[in-house]
Amino acid sequence: MAEPDEPGKKRSRVVELTEKMMVDGVTCEWAGRWNHITKFLERPGPFTHPDFEASTQSLKFLLETCKILVIGAGGLGCELLKDLALSGFRNIHVVDMDTIDVSNLNRQFLFRPKDVGQPKAKVASDYINSRVPGCCVVPHFKKIQDLDETFYRQFHIVVCGLDSIVARRWMNGMLLSLLVYEDGIINPGSIIPLIDGGTEGFKGNARVILPGMTACIDCTLELYPPQINFPMCTIATMPRLPEHCIEYVRMLLWPKETPFGDGVALDGDDPEHIQWVYQRSLERAAEFNITGVTYRLTQGVVKRIIPAVASTNAVIAAACATEVFKIASSAYVPLNNYMVFNDVDGLYTYTFEAEQKENCSACSQIPLDLHFSPSSKLQEVLDYLTESASLQMKSPAITATVKGKNKTLYLQSVASIEQRTRPNLSKTLKELELTDGQEVAVADVTTPQTMLFRLCFTS
């Protein structure tokens, strides 16, 4: 027969533990706190790195020296911060430009209803700092683009938990720009590993990027499908899905009927707007015997909402945090280099080695060639930069040296310059006095660096 619980004994154990924490209040340590971590760092095992040497220094490095940057404090970010803090990382910075929305609360578990409207980075940091003794998370309520090279250079490892491909590419470009080349060879000290996690519904991926050494984000750009867009002919003439009907109303009816006045843009957060789109979509769907148009779906399509699944975030963040631990401790061989996860139907994971693209526009160091006829218009060059699967630029600004002078051929982001340079789009390259073999510089939001292209005239 089992002995009955002795409440007195139990309580004294709790008191004992609390006392230990109190005693070591300065260092925030208590006996056995890192037992689980030291098992990985202080004894060899079948999966340890071939060069592994058991050492107590690894834990010291994780606790005291290693500096981690987490990009994003959303679904993946909350998980990442918790995983890293509990794995012994104490010097963590987190960058996020967003504030907390009530719809985040179901999965971004560091946030509470009272936090709605507050910066995610700040609230997440405060939560971790108060909950994990000794951990110091520093928040940055900013865009990644507002921080400079000096800031990024201070980290040992960068982990991304982002939902934007543009931000990912920018971060990738930033870490590539920090590489120091000596006689064409990368100085290994200048490499900051990038661990990138991504999720979409029940699918996710985790990857390890050693900038300049292994496939970067832009090397595998073809893997990212362009934003889900339906062919216009389907939307306009032969809809089959409820989404097609909603897109029809969003793209064609809204600008035509201007239900809320001329020039009023469709606002996905305005219930009246969504209601209007919803009603018109129902009519459209009825016309084609399509079912499934709901208010919720309407808002989902208008706002391009991808349903977020908390468990997918947890899996991917855990995989990413594990990679951070492996690289920071050198105790295990890191993922090589791309893991996909999918539990839409059953559960599937697969790991493969994404290869570095020889002529990658971001990491190859080789200026790319642009092949155009002298009679091509600048608009065609612009279209190529935005539509090519391997470039997928968003709003490229094109400059070139013409007759010894630096000239902006087209720039979209500043209205006055856009207006001034717009006529250039309908001019031919010859009319713009560009010559065969000349360099053309392109700046875009997808990269912090200006990209150089070589113009090659085709006959």
List 439's β-bridge partners, or say none: 454
Binding of Zn ion by 159 (CB under 5 A): no
321 versus 362: smaller Cβ distance to Zn ion:
362
Judged by CB under 5 A, the stretch of 138-146, 159-167, 356-364, 443-451 that binds Zn ion is 356-364
How many C-beta neighbours within 10 Å does residue 288 have?
A: 12
CB of 209 to Zn ion, least distance (A): 9
Selection from 355, 352, 324 nearest residue 340 by Cα: 352
Binding of Zn ion by 363 (CB under 5 A): yes
Residue number, nearest CB to Zn ion: 360
Which of 132, 209, 210, 219 is close enough to bind Zn ion by CB under 5 A? 219
Secondary structure letter of residue 64 according to DSSP: I
The answer to whether 361 and 410 have CB atoms below 8 angstroms apart is no
Helices (H), 204-309: 232-236, 242-248, 254-257, 271-287, 295-302
Residues contacting Zn ion: total by CB under 5 A: 6
CB of 236 to Zn ion, least distance (A): 38
Binding mask 170-209 vs Zn ion (x if CB under 5 A, - otherwise)?
A: ----------------------------------------
User: How far is the C-alpha of 369 from the C-alpha of 379, rounded, in Å?
Assistant: 17
The answer to whether 146 and 347 have CB atoms below 8 angstroms apart is no
Binding of Zn ion by 391 (CB under 5 A): no
CB of 220 to Zn ion, least distance (A): 8
Is 66 assigned a catalytic role?
A: no
70 versus 363: smaller Cβ distance to Zn ion:
363
User: How far is the C-alpha of 268 from the C-alpha of 266, rounded, in Å?
Assistant: 6
Selection from 340, 60, 374, 19 nearest residue 197 by Cα: 340
Question: Six-digit token pair at 128?
Answer: 């971790």
Binding of Zn ion by 216 (CB under 5 A): yes
Q: Tell me which amino acid residue 452 is.
A: L
Binding of Zn ion by 290 (CB under 5 A): no
Q: Which of 78, 136, 216, 233 is catalytic?
A: 233
CB of 215 to Zn ion, least distance (A): 6
CB of 363 to Zn ion, least distance (A): 3
Sign, CA dihedral 99-104-110-113, equals positive
Which of 37, 317, 339, 362 is close enough to bind Zn ion by CB under 5 A? 362
Residues annotated as catalytic are: 233
- Residues in touch with Zn ion (CB under 5 A): 216, 218-219, 360, 362-363
